[in-house]
Amino acid sequence: MPVTDRFVTRGFTGRPRTAGAGAPGDAASRTPPGQYLTMDFPVLSAGPTPHTPLDRWSFYLEGLVRQPVTWTWDEFKALPARDWTVDISCVTKWTKLDMRWRGVSVDTLLEHVELQPSAAFAIVHADGGYTTNLPIGDILNGQAFVAWEYDGQPLAPEHGGPARLVVPARYFWKSAKWVRGIRFVDRDVPGFWESFGYHNRGDQWLEERYSGD
């Protein structure tokens, strides 16, 4: 039977709750609904880890832009980078606070192209054929970056290295590992997990985990 009112699980008390100001309470307020905090950095991937040599790596912006642009690895690393400290939530329920990355803002990338007025969605492409879709409004104004360092070290392949997109305000599957480019389009196209039952937008604060949530 579907659950209507709040159901209480017999005998479940859970971990001790921390209340009020200070670090533990702050951590609780930064944990989206249904998530738990982890100190690990779990790995989740649908297939083998790609290993693209850096001399064959490139990053492109294409689609509804006046003039597509492609960067080599060296050119990309020479773009103005900054450090980012963000909280990350994975749809598999873990949340990790204060993750430290280094990379380039999508805003900075977009300074190199002129988007056509009809461009409304970003289709993110990655090695291995992975894709994910985002409205352009979800990756502008400091909301998304392409990272090549995590915690002061080059980003490990199993975590998406050499470079991964990071979109902290969405569940982590939107932060495409092994990212290679963004195609701008006028109509939305569901990406990989978005085609396998996961939510099209994936806002962790609205608990948009699965299609229909």
Partner 1 sequence: MASPIAWRLATITAVRPETPTVRSFTLSLPDWAGHRAGQHVDLRLTAEDGYSVERSYSIASEPERAGEIELTVERIEDGEVSGFLHDVAAVGDRIEVRGPIGGYFVWDATGPLAEEPLFLVAGGSGVVPLMAMLRHRSRTGLRNPTRLLFSSRRVEEVVYRDELDALAMAGDGLEVAHTLTRSQPPGWMGYGRRIDDRMIGEVLGALGDRARSFICGPTALVEVAANSLVRLGLPGDRIRTERFGPTGT
Residues near partner 1 (CB under 8 A): 1-3, 6-15, 17, 34-36, 40-50, 92-93, 128-129, 156, 158-159, 192-193, 195-197, 209-213
Min separation Cβ 2 and partner 1, Å: 4
Residue 27 is inside which H or E element, if any? helix 23-29
Shorter beta-carbon distance to partner 1: residue 17 or 56? 17
Alpha helix ranges (H) inside 38-163: 73-77, 106-110
Residues 6+ apart with CB under 8 A from 12: none
Shorter beta-carbon distance to partner 1: residue 5 or 55? 5
Contact at 8 Å (CB) between 130 and 192? yes
Min separation Cβ 159 and partner 1, Å: 8
Min separation Cβ 209 and partner 1, Å: 8
Residues 6+ apart with CB under 8 A from 192: 46, 129, 130, 131, 132, 173
Min separation Cβ 26 and partner 1, Å: 17
Shorter beta-carbon distance to partner 1: residue 93 or 112? 93
Return d(Cα 140, Cα 190) in angstroms, integer: 19
Shorter beta-carbon distance to partner 1: residue 96 or 109? 96
